[in-house]
Chains A and B, each alone.
Chain A
Amino acid sequence: MISFGMVGARRAAAAVAAFALFASGTVMAGPQPWQLNMPTGVTSISQRIHGVHMLAFWICVAIGVIVYGAMVYAMFKFRKSRGAVAAKWSHNTMLEAVWTTIPILILIAMAWPATKLLIDMAHVENSEMTIKVTGYQWKWRYEYVDYFGKATPVNFISTLDAESNRVRQTGSGLDPHSVKEGDENVYLLNVDKPLVLPVGVKVRFVITADDVIHSWWVPDLGWKQDAIPGIINDNWTRIDVAGTYRGQCAELCGRDHGFMPIVVKAVPKAEFEQWLATQQAAASASKTAQAAPAAALPATQG
């Protein structure tokens, strides 16, 4: 805590290193220290979202420069202490018409690409696999409903990893900086079992909840979608780059709202199919076991 400057410098260096890694093709997934902006993300949709965000941002900057520039000019130029004498005018129809009309055009310029993007995002059809996401207090269930038209029995619960959970207890005295996976700090952004997805496949998500409202959000995929009991929402993604992408529940859902992260692990298609086959085998094995009268509960629960 005392060597704040040192720590800052170290983290700035880490951020630069992270950027270099991104440029070289390996994807850093989580938030970075001193990160200022929204991630560009790893889908064409997330990149276009970043695009409309930056368009709106630069338009706001331009308007801000004009308005604030004029205000600062007025504050220096028209000071009474510099002998300014107040003019008497108090309206100008031409000006008022201009600054009502021009903003309309600017708004259309922002709304146009946003509308096109929104329409494209609404096309959930033609998906190649379906994942059902269910929010619980305070964990997520992922069901691999189908993959290229074939139903699968694979489903599991994904909860906060044990190490983050130990450190996050009030007054634990443990250092959140120590929770790492490789070089990356994953405090509160890691789970016991990530959602594994194939790269380049259009995935449809159907999202719901079992108790209260949650919201499933991975910034690198570009969107969040509320998980609401009694309602099934859908959305889709097609991840372009392999990597591990981290997000969090985004709708207040009670005591441990801050402690139900989301991790998406995107892998090449072949690797995914291998993984899915293993999971399917395990799932059918446990199903057989469950069918037996005195079967124990699966260890993944809780």
Chain B
Amino acid sequence: MAAVNPAIHDTHHDGHAGHDDKPHGFLHRWLFTTNHKDIGTLYLVFSLTMFFIGGSFAMLIRAELFQPGLQLLQPETFNELTTMHALIMIFGAIMPAFVGLGNWMIPLQIGAPDMALPRMNNWSFWILPFAFLLLIGEIFMPGGGPQGGWTMYPPLSLEGGFNVAFMIFAIHLMGISSIMGAINIIATILNMRAPGMDLLKMPVFVWSWLITAFLLIAVMPVLAGAVTMLLTDKYFGTSFFHAAGGGDPVMYQHIFWFFGHPEVYIMILPAFGIVSEIIPTFSRKPIFGYQAMVYAIASIAFLSFIVWAHHMFTVGMPLGGELFFMYATMLIAIPTGVKVFNWLSTMWQGSLTFETPMLFAIAFVILFTIGGFSGVMCAIVPADFQYQDTYFVVAHFHYVLVSGAAFGIMAAAYYWLPKWSGNMYSEKWGKIHFWSSAIAVNVLFFPQHFVGLAGMPRRIPDYNVAFADFNMISSIGGFWFGASQLIFVGVIIHCVYFSRQRATAQVWEGARGLEWTVPSPAPFHTFSTPPVITNDMLAHGDVSH
């Protein structure tokens, strides 16, 4: 593979785009790539593909739930769809999207020429298509895909056929990919910052990824352990979780959620980082309380390790355990509140404009906060005895994951697309996509609070007629939200291939930070020689706050 010769890549001169020695040929360019930008693009395209596959499963779920009675699906197919929808969206759509954004933007934001470990970077991406081939391929095997829910609680999950082994190997592959990606990100951030890019001058997005990467390294092995024990329980006669053999089904839940709760924050912390980049840009004002923002992310990450059992308040824990996990969970509201107040204060007395990234970022703050409110309610153990495993919880985590994490990713896509492609996207269609998605997501998920409180359990394919009206509204919102995402794809394709409006290096009037000092599109190789950084180039150069 041709090594990069730094002498001919002085990216501080424009006009290099024509001869920046991108590898020729599709396989060389994409399969063998070690370039952080190309790998970032691969991750993002993969994530968008998975978003549509997982989304199409959600459409089938909402179609079956459109009316009471089973019209389209057998109950076991419905269970297969809910399980696959969750696994694909979590491991295939949300997580790879953040890794893709990190790959693209972290080197650009800290003045590094590439990721620290480029070949491992290639590997951590190319594992994923094979992992998902295993996972999604199960649908076409005898017995179908896994039906025990993405949480894979034994004994139910062990009732599956072939799919148990395939699902577990797919999860192992995803875990390996995530761990390698996380090692790479930590190594990059800690070792490859340009001179002058002190830790507490880094963009909040970089901070959020540094902390997220530590969470990944801490908990993905825990998930691997949990599913390996499932595997040996199923095929090798062990009894880790078999009550009859002296095992404990609840132990699985403790191990799973010790992974699972940090996992929840793995899916939201980078979105916090993204929003913390976008709001200052379009407020034309530095972020309020930069250090508090960083410490808040770190506090949330720490707390994520001591709240896991709030996912299992109804398993029959002792009183002391319930109280501890209630108090610890409620504490999360404090650093999260700090973040929301700081975003608001950043906007206060700013000079606001509302381009599409800003619209998504504001919607993120508003709608994520709704998910935060229902989160605090779920923390209250006696009330959770009612909420647990109902549509109230479904509404809660979709507010934080769809209008939270996914909106954060969309905001980032609009924000950096001009930097990636060199072209401006259509602001008009971006705004249409935004308003359509923002309204539909509420039509989709808000009524689910009501049916959950009224008594509708989650993961059921059919329901009493009392739940019919809100379910129909929710389904209409679901189809509308799904259709809205086609606009997103249209805007991206138009921007990359057809837009004639060229982006400047700065792109946004209020944008600050190193990524805006390189031309648009970002040349194939950037910062081959470290940039000379002055504090006024940085969003957070003033260390007094």
B188 to chain A, nearest CB (A): 27
Nearest-neighbour CB distance to chain B for A9, whole angstroms, equals: 11
Please report which residues of chain B, range 235-262, place their CB below 8 angstroms from some CB of chain A when the two chains form the complex.
Answer: 243-244, 247-250
Bound CA–CA A95/B385 (angstroms):
36
Q: Which of B345, B346, B388, B455 contacts A31 (CB under 8 A)? A: B455
Q: Are A252 and B390 in touch, CB under 8 angstroms? A: no
| Other-chain contact of A176, B69, B454, B458, B470 (Cβ < 8 Å) | B69
Could you tell me if A257 and B316 are in contact, using CB atoms closer than 8 angstroms?
no
- CB nearest to B151 among chain A residues: A252
Task: For chain A, residues 227 to 255, give those with C-beta under 8 angstroms from any C-beta of chain B.
Answer: 228-231, 233-234, 246-255
A28 to B463, CA, bound (A): 18
Q: Which of the candidate stretches B3-11, B25-33, B375-383 sits at the interface with the other chain?
A: B375-383
Q: A71-B362, A118-B319, A118-B323 are in contact. Are A32 and B466 (CB under 8 A)?
A: yes
| Contact bitstring B64-93, A, C-beta under 8 A = 1, else 0 | 000111111111100100000000000000
B444-473 contacts to A (CB < 8 Å)? 450, 453-470
- The smallest C-beta distance from A215 to any residue of chain B, in angstroms, reads 6
Residues of chain B from 25 to 44 with CB closer than 8 A to chain A in the complex: none
Q: A91-B289, A103-B333, A248-B455 are in contact. Are A56 and B79 (CB under 8 A)?
A: no
Interface flag for B498 (CB, 8 Å): no
- Contact between A176 and B465, CB atoms less than 8 A apart: yes
Which residues of the other chain, B, contact A84 by a CB distance below 8 angstroms? 349-352
Q: Is B334 an interface residue (CB 8 A)?
A: yes
Q: Which of B290, B453, B464, B542 has most chain A Cβ within 10 Å?
A: B464
**A198 interface residue (CB < 8 Å to B):** no
Chain A: interface secondary structure? mixed
**Chain A contacts for B340, CB-based, 8 A:** 67
**Contacts A71-B365, A252-B149; A110 near B464 (Cβ below 8 A):** no
Q: How far is the CB of A34 from chain B (nearest CB, A)?
A: 6
* Cβ–Cβ < 8 Å partners of A49 in chain B: 382-383, 385-386
A6 contacts chain B at the CB level, 8 A cutoff: no
Asked if A288 lies at the interface with its beta carbon under 8 angstroms from chain B, I say no
A226-B466 contact in complex given A49-B386, A85-B351, C-beta closer than 8 Å = no
The answer to whether A225 and B376 touch (CB under 8 A), given A31-B456, A110-B330, A230-B248, is no
Which residues of A are found within 8 Å of B349, using beta-carbon distances?
A: 78, 84, 86-87, 89
CA distance A35 to B467 in the complex (A): 8
Contact A185 B457 (CB under 8 A): no
- Given the known interface contacts A57-B377, A228-B315, the answer about A100 and B338 at a Cβ–Cβ threshold of 8 Å is yes
Q: B288 touching A33 by the CB < 8 A rule?
A: no
* Residue interface bits B345-376, CB-to-A below 8 A is 1, else 0: 11111111110000000100110011001101
Q: Is the CB of B70 within 8 A of A168?
A: yes
Interface: A273 (CB within 8 A): no
Query: Contact check: which of B68, B385, B469, B510 meets A187 at CB < 8 Å?
Result: B68
A175 within 8 A of B: yes
Interface residues of chain B, those whose CB is within 8 Å of chain A, are: 67-76, 79, 147-149, 153, 155-156, 159, 243-244, 247-250, 283-290, 292, 312, 314-316, 319, 322-323, 326-327, 330-331, 333-334, 337-338, 340-341, 344-354, 362, 365-366, 369-370, 373-374, 376-377, 380-383, 385-386, 388-390, 450, 453-470, 510, 542, 545
* Interchain residue pairs A-B with the least CB separation, the first 10: A230-B243, A258-B460, A233-B316, A35-B454, A223-B385, A60-B373, A91-B545, A31-B466, A87-B349, A176-B68
5 additional A-B pairs beyond A80-B353, A107-B331, A222-B385, beta carbons within 8 Å, are A68-B369, A89-B349, A223-B385, A224-B386, A229-B244
